[in-house]
Amino acid sequence: MCGICGVFNFGTGEPADQAQLKRAADAMAHRGPDDEGFYLDGNLGIANRRLSIIDLPGGHQPLSDEDGSLWITFNGEIYNYRELRRQLEGRHRFRTASDTEVILHLYEEFGTGLFEHLRGMFAFALWDRRKRRLMLARDRIGIKPLYCLHEPGRLAFASELRALRELATRPLEIDPQSVYDFFGFRYVPAPNTFYRNVSKLLPGHFLIADSNGFRQERYWDLPGEDEKPRAAEDYAGEVLETLRESVRLRLIADVPLGVFLSGGVDSTAIVAMMSHLGVRPLRTFSVGFEEKEYSELPYARRVAARFSTEHTEVVLRARDLADELSRLIAFREGPVAEPTDVALYRMSLKAAETVKVVLAGEGSDELFAGYPKYAADRLAGLVSALPQEVTGTISRWLPFRQRRAKLAIEALSIPDEAERSATWFASFSRQEREALFSQDFLAQIDVAHPARVFAQYLEQVRERPPLKRMLYADLKIWLPDNLLLRGDQMTMAASIEERVPFLDHKLVELAARIPVRLLTQGFRTKVLLRQALSPFLPPETLRRRKVGFTVPVGPWFRKTLNSFVADLLLSPGARSREYFNAANMESFVREHFDGVRDRQKQIWALVNFELWMRERRGK
């Protein structure tokens, strides 16, 4: 795992500046504390910060091919690199034992067709000296991030925004539309970022830049259902074997490994398979809370005991969250999307004491329909047909503790599929956003943009069943722009690598081909996956309903962190920001403090945005 960055002055012809590259690389030294490297060729410069995982002494980057005509800076892991190397060795000379070198030789043979041969997670920049052409690429699912800065005649890129900022020729400007979108999505959906002229390279895409400019192209997409469906038992067996193979491939490393364990189905499956594959010692890491109703530590302990792991627990307290937020906002160069980020960071710091690689269960819900909304959404036609005053009254009168039922009613009341999709996981609903922001600010932006983002993906798979459309959109938006970005940034902030076996592209494609009727039954979710894992997992784990990892920020904001929130959001500085209607913002805060409504998601977004504004002012 590494941090990569670079500059290509394709239009200006100006020489790349190594001092500038050095500043950018230093800004993400946490991503690669083991080594750094630079390569300059006239108007092109690339750099790398390396976290050594494979070929510890020989994997220095940037790396070239035999004659120095191709150069690469690479972030990620190619899990089938040994197999690919055996296929290429007769025609190419290898100088290292690293997975990175395989990409160079695949490019020599297949050009931009190389991606179909790669099995892994990656973001890389490949420089073709003969053609004076730069290629940027990102893995199919978006496990590894890659940001691009577009300036006249100039392209810069980096693994993190804080590094990209060092490559800019002028200060980065905040994009108002992205501010609005953040308070809807909890994050900024790709290709946009918080900054004008800065974009994310989309998952499953590559970019080609030369003297004529640059273009992007998609090289992968999610397939549809099998035209000739098979029996559930056949799919379950194939899912089990593909997941087992995926876990086995992700054990390839020259450093110690561990696993993040919640005690739920997904992480327990990975622990079980690692145990079955003979991983010793098997180190597991869990995070929980003093508030027992929120903590999953008892479940994780039972799994750890069953599989005889070396188990480590971290307890996150309210004060820890307040202490870490500013630091993590600096790492992200933007607001922290969810409280879970802080918990993951603390767990990663503890894991870094004994391992350099961790496996995690991320992605399973988006493949196998694990969220309750996937079963509930079929009721949208019925609920949205009810008079608005009926659903509104039910929503208002639901007790504080029934926040999930309240969210479901609010989402299911929306007849439009795209608008409903944008509401399920939103921090602020569209109506709430229009109350939060000032009229002057709303006049600058497109209030329907969050729904339009979902609409463009839903339209691409219009012929598929509704549940498959939801899964497709979440895999394109929610998964890479929130969950995977969180996993990358919070683990890399602690200088460890996260691997996600459920997102092996072969398993992703297999899940996409499974008929929709096998994924949910009534209000039961993840049905096929539970069937597939039944030989490996204890019955009590398979029977556990989907809980979701929830940090108790709701009670913390009302009690322990009440003054922390008030000092931020009710301060003169926050109230005078050009974005907000100050009176309505205060109402959101007061409603939560007084127990009138659960506003924890809204307060979380506001707290993080205010801290980010202060951090930017400090710079």
pLDDT given at position 54: 66
pLDDT given at position 270: 97
Classified by CATH at the fold level, domain 2-218 comes out as Glutamine Phosphoribosylpyrophosphate, subunit 1, domain 1 (3.60.20)
Question: Could you list the active site residues?
Answer: 2
Q: Is the pLDDT of residue 172 over 80?
A: yes
Q: Is the pLDDT of residue 133 over 90?
A: yes
Q: Is the pLDDT of residue 134 over 90?
A: yes
Could you give the residue ranges of the DSSP H alpha helices within 199-339? Answer: 232-249, 265-276, 297-306, 318-332
Q: Is the pLDDT of residue 7 over 60?
A: yes
Average pLDDT, stretch 307-317? Answer: 97
pLDDT given at position 45: 98
pLDDT given at position 403: 66
Q: pLDDT > 70: what percent of the chain?
A: 96
Q: List pLDDT tens digits, range 454-479.
A: 999 999 999 999 999 999 999 999 99
Q: List pLDDT tens digits, range 193-243.
A: 999 999 999 999 999 999 999 999 999 999 999 999 999 999 999 999 999
Nearest one of 521, 405, 425, 505 to 473, comparing CA atoms: 425
Average pLDDT value over all residues in the chain: 93
pLDDT given at position 60: 86
Q: What is the DSSP string of 319-383?
A: HHHHHHHHHHHHHHTS--S-THHHHHHHHHHHHTTT-SEEE--TTHHHHHT-SHHHHHGGGHHHH
By mean pLDDT, which of 239-243, 317-321, 554-558, 615-619 is the weakest? 615-619
Q: Where in the chain is the domain with CATH 3.40.50.620?
A: 221-550
pLDDT given at position 255: 85
Q: Which residues contact 369 (CB under 8 A, 6 or more apart)?
A: 375, 467, 471, 519, 520, 525, 526
Q: Is the pLDDT higher at 398 or at 482?
A: 482
Average pLDDT, stretch 403-417? Answer: 82
Q: List pLDDT tens digits, range 540-549.
A: 888 877 666 7
Q: How many CB atoms lie within 10 A of CB 602?
A: 23
Q: List pLDDT tens digits, range 46-80.
A: 999 987 776 666 678 999 998 999 999 999 999 99
Q: Where in the chain is the domain with CATH 3.60.20.10?
A: 2-218
Tokens of 409: 């009613």
Q: List pLDDT tens digits, range 334-356.
A: 999 999 999 999 999 999 999 99
Give the model's confidence band at 397: pLDDT under 50 very low, under 70 low, under 90 confident, else very high. Answer: low
CA distances from 158 to 6, 23, 32, 396, 610 (A): 7, 12, 13, 46, 25
pLDDT given at position 324: 93
Average pLDDT, stretch 123-132? Answer: 98
CB 29 within 8 A of CB 70: no
What is the CATH architecture of 221-550? 3-Layer(aba) Sandwich (3.40)
Give the model's confidence band at 398: pLDDT under 50 very low, under 70 low, under 90 confident, else very high. Answer: low
pLDDT given at position 253: 85
pLDDT given at position 412: 85
pLDDT given at position 536: 85
